[in-house]
Amino acid sequence: MTNQLFWIVPVCSVIALLFAFLFFKGMMREPEGTDTMKRIASHVRKGAMAYLKQQYKIVGLVFLVLCLFFAWMAYGPHLQNGWVWFAFLTGGFFSGLAGFIGMKTATYASARTANAASRSMNEGLKVAFRSGAVMGLVVVGLALLDISLWWLILNLFVGDASEAQNAIMITTTMLTFGMGASTQALFARVGGGIFTKAADVGADLVGKVEAGIPEDDPRNPATIADNVGDNVGDVAGMGADLYESYCGSILATAALGAAAYAGSGLQVNAILAPMLIASFGVILSLLGIFLVKTKEGASQLQLIRALDRGINTSSVLIIVASFVVVYLLGLSYWICGSVITGLLTGIIIGKATEFYTSHAYRPTRDIAKSSETGPATVIIKGIGTGMISTAIPVITIVCGIILAYLFAIEFDVKGMMGGAQMSKGLYGIGIAAVGMLSTLGITLATDAYGPIADNAGGNAEMSEMGEEVRKRTDALDALGNTTAATGKGFAIGSAALTGLALLASYIEEIKIGLVRMLDAGHEVVIGTLRLVREDIVNASLPDFMEWYQVTLMNPKVLAGVLIGSMLSFLFCGLTMNAVGRAAQKMVNEVRRQFREIKGIMEGKAEPDYARCVEISTRGAQHEMIFPSLLAIIAPIVVGLVFGVSGVLGLLAGGLGAGFVLAVFMANSGGAWDNAKKFVEEGNLGGKGSESHKATVIGDTVGDPFKDTSGPSLNILIKLMSMVAIVMAGVTCAYSLL
């Protein structure tokens, strides 16, 4: 059941990993700078690795419990495929590995970026961006390698039904691999986000506002913890996050392709299409990476355009590549319209994010201007701007969903809700998500570049490298804030499209779950209907909607929608309070050291950096558990109480509320951060002014918005869907209502 074109997938994955290795080696050949720079980088590196080890211990226990549960489902009541527990485990492993490699690269790259910036702006940009590219290429390389290996393995061992049914079985089993990636990603995002923001808040509130010392000043006890946090949250967490986004979009689309084209002779080709589009995207991302360069003294707009050059080139060429893929696979050229729709949707969301978060544009400058009347107006203006910023992404996603659907059914508007057309339309939405993430190799490079540039600035400040170097690193850091916000926009946008695809995949898994119930000797009764195997196998998506009464008039659906919407806010509240509690401990510790350790402010005594790292580590490890488990527990409980219709409502409510809330939080946080940068560049009184203090407070409020709660929401959306898919058999067999 393997087309010869399939082999392009593992080949491209190996190419991605090879170039990641070459970029890493190229970065390591760069000089790390002075002994002071090396010492600071070493502190950050040791702190980051120590934290990650502790996090992996806790996550490992969670995975062990879940693996045992999935094994029981498979070998006890026979409600799940026997491969699920192992697929889940490997998904988590590769997600964690991607984050680990990215973080290791970043901790070695920061000092080298600062040292390169002492030579020129372009040198600093080159080192930081290519180091970020290691993350991008490792994520896509490992994802495609793991997906291709699972396709080969399951093709060998799954073969107890027709070829069409085997294909559906294989692709839905592979989705559980995505659940492993999502689970690891959520723990990484939440834990890393709590760590970094606790340190950041402590460093800013006490250091900048109370003590009046510069950012990343070596006299600040929290500054090393802050730099460690950038790596564990914004690199390791973000890498795991986008790994699962990338895998989720490919796997969900493959599962939809298996269902939509079953029995047509094009089933395998439809499964391979998202894999091949993603594979061509790897090669084109590499091309884009080599196009990123700038000149000395570049403005923010010029730096943004330097990155845009690489991204836009890759995006245009992937359109051409999609036509090649469709031609080779014999699919309808209309599918290319869905790919283009996904790309354009991602670009528009990215540009909208850039407009609302970069201090090159009016919204962020207006936030900075509001600092003249104090921190309260900064916060009000930032919240208002973030709320307004949701309009363009939401309208864009809506247009993207409709257009991707219509392209896939060749604009058959009259028959668009028929069973066969609905399956193809949903496949088109999945393809759009793959299109959006097809150039992840370079878009993730721009995202990972941000924390590397931020740490480089910190190293330059603590090493006292001079104002000119710091000016260059500040410019690179401000660019990183914008690219990070843009990367979050891509992740959130892809979550919305992938979430819809996963809803459809959930129905396919319900179908398989019902068949397993029959095979295990159970009766299948839905309402007043007593179903036999033939009824289930031949049922379309609208049939299932009718059987389970998935309508707005069904109180179980409405209950699910409300619970799903609430969960997004509950999750954000829990994670923000977690940051607040950890930050309080950090603030008290920094104040204690300033008060008790004599000579800190004069630079005659070294602060206790390790104690601050320890406080962030303990806070993150303790606080990340409940919010992360919430995403796993909620779909199980709702499924057991309200059944399939309740779960569908839960996923729809979580998707709608979570998407809008994530955009708002990411954009507000990014805008507050760059408003502060705008003042620090010498505007509105510059560093140390009252305007600066007001924007620092705004940035502090925005820290958990953009780096903890906001980016974790897109994982929450998909993880709940993945959990629902894996637990479909239990929901069918044991729901109360």
Q: Which pLDDT tens digit goes with each residue over 31-89?
A: 988 888 888 888 888 888 888 888 888 889 889 998 888 888 888 887 777 788 888 88
**What is the average per-residue pLDDT within 379-401?**
95
Residue 297: what pLDDT?
Answer: 64
Identify the helix (H) or strand (E) that includes residue 103: helix 84-117
Q: Tell me if 232 sits within 8 A of 45, measured CB to CB.
A: no
- Residue 302's CB is within 10 A of a number of other CB atoms, namely 15
Residue 396: what pLDDT?
Answer: 95
**What is the average per-residue pLDDT within 110-115?**
90
**What average pLDDT is seen over the chain?**
87
What residues contact 305, with CB distance under 8 A and at least 6 apart? none
**What is the average per-residue pLDDT within 301-314?**
78
What's the full length of the chain, in residues?
A: 737
**What is the average per-residue pLDDT within 414-424?**
84
- Rounded to whole angstroms, what are the CA distances from 332 to 4, 263, 326, 496? 19, 16, 7, 25
CA-to-CA distance for 13 and 155, rounded, in angstroms? Answer: 20
| Residues forming beta bridges with residue 54, ordered by sequence position | none
Residue 1 has pLDDT above 60, yes or no: no
Higher-pLDDT residue of 280, 231? 280
Q: Which amino acid is present at 530?
A: R
Query: The tokens of 398 are what?
Result: 């809506």
Residue 446: what pLDDT?
Answer: 78
CA-to-CA distance for 539 and 518, rounded, in angstroms? Answer: 15
- Residue 736's CB is within 10 A of a number of other CB atoms, namely 9
- Residue 581's CB is within 10 A of a number of other CB atoms, namely 15
For residue 451, report the phi and psi dihedrals to the nearest 5 degrees: -65, -30
**Structure confidence by residue, pLDDT tens digits, 146-201:** 999 989 888 888 766 677 778 888 888 887 777 888 888 888 888 888 888 888 88
461: confidence class by pLDDT, cuts 50, 70, 90: confident
Higher-pLDDT residue of 453, 691? 691
**Structure confidence by residue, pLDDT tens digits, 614-644:** 888 888 888 888 888 888 999 999 999 999 9
Q: What is the DSSP letter of 279?
A: H
Residue 298: what pLDDT?
Answer: 65
Residue 487: what pLDDT?
Answer: 67
Q: Which of 372-381, 519-528, 594-603 has the highest mean pLDDT?
A: 372-381
**What is the average per-residue pLDDT within 654-681?**
92
**What is the average per-residue pLDDT within 425-432?**
93
Residue 398 has pLDDT above 90, yes or no: yes
**What is the average per-residue pLDDT within 381-406?**
95
**Structure confidence by residue, pLDDT tens digits, 529-586:** 898 888 888 888 888 999 999 998 999 999 999 999 999 999 999 999 988 888 898 8
**Structure confidence by residue, pLDDT tens digits, 78-96:** 777 778 888 888 889 988 8
Model pTM score: 0.88
507: confidence class by pLDDT, cuts 50, 70, 90: confident
- Residue 684's CB is within 10 A of a number of other CB atoms, namely 20
**What is the average per-residue pLDDT within 729-737?**
88
Q: Tell me if 440 sits within 8 A of 281, measured CB to CB.
A: yes
Q: Which of 158-162, 461-465, 649-653, 678-682 has the highest mean pLDDT?
A: 649-653
User: For the chain, how far is it from start to end, CA to CA, in angstroms?
Assistant: 40
CA-to-CA distance for 201 and 579, rounded, in angstroms? Answer: 9
